[in-house]
Chains A and B, each alone.
Chain A
Amino acid sequence: MLEELFPNVIAEDLWIATLETFYMTSIAILGTLIFGILLGLLLFLTDSGNLWENRFVNFITATVVNVFRAIPFIILILLLFPFTDFLIGTIRGWKAALPALIVGAAPFYARLVEIGLKEVDKGVVEASKAMGARIHTIIFKVLLPESMPALISGLTVTAIALIGYTAMAGVIGAGGLGNLAYLQGFQRRDFDVVLACTILIIIIVFIFQFIGDLLSKAIDKR
């Protein structure tokens, strides 16, 4: 039945490509999470009226974030080739896609983190200050836990955008389902391969969305 529907699909190739997409996405999410939270915290804390109020740092951070968000992803990969080559030692394969994926997604996530942090009740931060809390206590025990549902749903949105990015990266040599769909599917006119890749990408997207929603819901005690 499956062979009739997808005559040109080689199961093993498809499985490898799926794994590559999965790895790429997962590690990129991890990187995006770390850098996005750092950038988001910096944006939030240096904003006027906040704990580290600093107009200069805020301006620089906001500018960097805005510039990287403005660059189309496909161009960002090309721009980052030298950097990738230096960092990973190659510009081919799924590992080589990681720098561009993280640099592309982290600024986007940083803005979502900033929005999430802004939603934290100011009174709770004030109460923590009144209790004599240090800034790192306020960050790790108040700001991050209190904004956790927003941080998780933001990460879910970012993760899904990232899956889209991996497909784009795949087309220019990063492997994964995007690569398979383009090389074996589009270029050889085997559209069943394109279809199979699409279905798998959709499934991956659904899995991430499902996990994200579940986590966000479980953690929200409001």
Chain B
Amino acid sequence: MIQIKNLSKLYQTKKQQVQAVDNVSLNIEQGEIFGVIGYSGAGKSTFVRLINRLEEPTDGSVVIQDKDITKMPGNQLRKKRQKIGMIFQHFNLLWSRTVLENIAFPLEIAGVPKEKRKEKVLELINLVGLSGKENAYPSQLSGGQKQRVGIARALANDPEVLLCDEATSALDPETTDDILDLLVSINKKLGLTIILITHEMHVIQKICHRVAVMENGKVVETGDVLDVFVKPQSKTTKRFVQQLNPLEHERDKLAEFINDREDSEVVKLHFIGKSAKRALISEVAKTFDVEINILQGSIAPTQEGAYGTLFIEINGEKELLQKTIEFMENTGVEVEVLKDA
């Protein structure tokens, strides 16, 4: 649905050049929630602004629904932008307008007649759960409510894609979850493609189908959220994944269990998708004559299924241990035997 090819943005000042976005190529499918994660300064904010040309790319192309955005003249671009919704970290609502008037603004821009505007706005207010707040001013709303207005406003002209620029970064964790739930429900209800920029891994984990990791303007890793979670390749991705999985930090606490003895192994199990629901440990305990000691574990839900980590210690004869580990590997669970570093 969206093809991004060799997209680059070079900021040129008198003193220096900054390559904010460096040769990024991505394909985004219809109806998916695509996340872009990176630390501040990675170029993700610039990247999302290149998609609707709030920033002019220095090179490359963005094709949305077979239309090349980068080649459009001003007039056509403005029409196209009406079909590209965008929400912002700081909401960017007009303080001088009520909730109703704020949501009606993009409809005014698109030249929708007054009666139809009102109808559409009320429908949107309902969709984002702001009924009763129609005539409130933004200053009378909480952060979460403001972002709901932002979302309703972005959806007003039935966009083909919704761009989210750090949409939850100014909200507290609970409100963040509410807004993310709303985005997922909109994605499902309207089949809307969403591109989401964030620096918080749990946002990616919670709602994205696929993710791209950005660093220094480049996409260093991309793939299904589960895959990236389970097998992070780059250093940056690993750091992001660790951010989410506090157990990774505490790996050294397991040190006392890890030893050279042949009759004892510490094993890290990765449960992905359906296998996360499997009662593997009790199965193993029934099948093999080994002792299993659960050290620690965690589970995290994602859009594509749950993803869990479990650290266990297995004690038993050497050969039996081998067989046990093979058995576990054959069930589709990722197994990693931890040795002394």
A residues near B (Cβ < 8 Å) are 121, 123-124, 126-134, 137, 141-142, 145-146, 148, 219, 221-222
User: How many residues on chain B are close to A (CB under 8 Å)?
Assistant: 29
Contact A146 B81 (CB under 8 A): no
Q: Specify which of A127, A145, A221 is in contact with B92 (CB 8 Å cutoff).
A: A127
Contact A123 B92 (CB under 8 A): yes
Chain A residues touching B, majority SS: helix
Contact A124 B54 (CB under 8 A): no
With contacts A130-B54, A145-B94, A221-B139 taken as known, whether A137 is within 8 angstroms of B109 at the C-beta atoms is yes
Determine whether B137 belongs to the interface, using a CB cutoff of 8 Å to chain A.
yes
Question: What are 23 A-B contacts defined by CB distance under 8 Å?
Answer: A123-B92, A124-B93, A124-B94, A127-B86, A127-B88, A128-B105, A129-B54, A130-B84, A130-B86, A131-B153, A132-B81, A132-B106, A132-B109, A132-B110, A133-B78, A134-B78, A134-B109, A141-B108, A145-B97, A146-B94, A148-B96, A221-B96, A221-B137
Determine whether B95 belongs to the interface, using a CB cutoff of 8 Å to chain A.
yes
Cβ distance B289 to chain A, nearest Cβ, rounded Å:
65
- In the bound complex, residues from chain A placing their C-beta under 8 Å from that of B106 are 131-132
Contact B81 A131 (CB under 8 A): yes
- In the bound complex, residues from chain B placing their C-beta under 8 Å from that of A133 are 78, 109
Among A141, A146, A148, the most chain B Cβ lie within 10 Å of the Cβ of A141
Among A123, A132, A141, A142, the most chain B Cβ lie within 10 Å of the Cβ of A132
Cβ distance A123 to chain B, nearest Cβ, rounded Å:
4
Cβ distance B105 to chain A, nearest Cβ, rounded Å:
7
Cβ distance A132 to chain B, nearest Cβ, rounded Å:
4
Contact B80 A132 (CB under 8 A): yes
Cβ distance A15 to chain B, nearest Cβ, rounded Å:
40
| 17 additional A-B residue pairs with CB within 8 Å, beyond A132-B78, A132-B110, A145-B94 | A123-B88, A123-B92, A124-B92, A124-B94, A126-B54, A128-B109, A130-B52, A130-B84, A131-B81, A131-B109, A131-B157, A132-B81, A132-B106, A132-B109, A146-B96, A222-B95, A222-B139
Cβ distance A116 to chain B, nearest Cβ, rounded Å:
13
**B 72-116 to A, binary, CB cutoff 8 A, 1 in contact else 0:** 000001111110101010101111110000000110111000000
Assembled-state Cα–Cα distance A131/B82 (Å): 5
Assembled-state Cα–Cα distance A148/B97 (Å): 12
Assembled-state Cα–Cα distance A124/B80 (Å): 19
Contact B79 A132 (CB under 8 A): yes
Contact A132 B93 (CB under 8 A): no
- In the bound complex, residues from chain B placing their C-beta under 8 Å from that of A129 are 54, 81
Assembled-state Cα–Cα distance A130/B138 (Å): 20
| Nearest opposing residue in chain A for B136, CB measure | A221
Q: Specify which of A123, A130, A142, A145 is in contact with B90 (CB 8 Å cutoff).
A: A123
| Nearest opposing residue in chain A for B81, CB measure | A132
Cβ distance B12 to chain A, nearest Cβ, rounded Å:
14
Assembled-state Cα–Cα distance A109/B109 (Å): 30
Among A123, A146, A221, the most chain B Cβ lie within 10 Å of the Cβ of A221
| Nearest opposing residue in chain B for A137, CB measure | B109
Cβ distance A133 to chain B, nearest Cβ, rounded Å:
5
- In the bound complex, residues from chain B placing their C-beta under 8 Å from that of A146 are 94-96
Contact A221 B90 (CB under 8 A): no
- In the bound complex, residues from chain A placing their C-beta under 8 Å from that of B138 are 221
| Nearest opposing residue in chain B for A142, CB measure | B94
Cβ distance B7 to chain A, nearest Cβ, rounded Å:
18
Assembled-state Cα–Cα distance A137/B93 (Å): 15
- In the bound complex, residues from chain B placing their C-beta under 8 Å from that of A222 are 95, 139
Contact A126 B92 (CB under 8 A): yes
Among A129, A134, A142, the most chain B Cβ lie within 10 Å of the Cβ of A129
- In the bound complex, residues from chain A placing their C-beta under 8 Å from that of B108 are 137, 141
4 closest Cβ pairs, A-B complex = A132-B81, A127-B92, A123-B92, A132-B78
| Nearest opposing residue in chain A for B86, CB measure | A130
Assembled-state Cα–Cα distance A210/B84 (Å): 45
Assembled-state Cα–Cα distance A145/B98 (Å): 13
| Nearest opposing residue in chain A for B82, CB measure | A132
Contact A141 B110 (CB under 8 A): no
Assembled-state Cα–Cα distance A124/B105 (Å): 12
Cβ distance A69 to chain B, nearest Cβ, rounded Å:
29
Assembled-state Cα–Cα distance A142/B86 (Å): 17
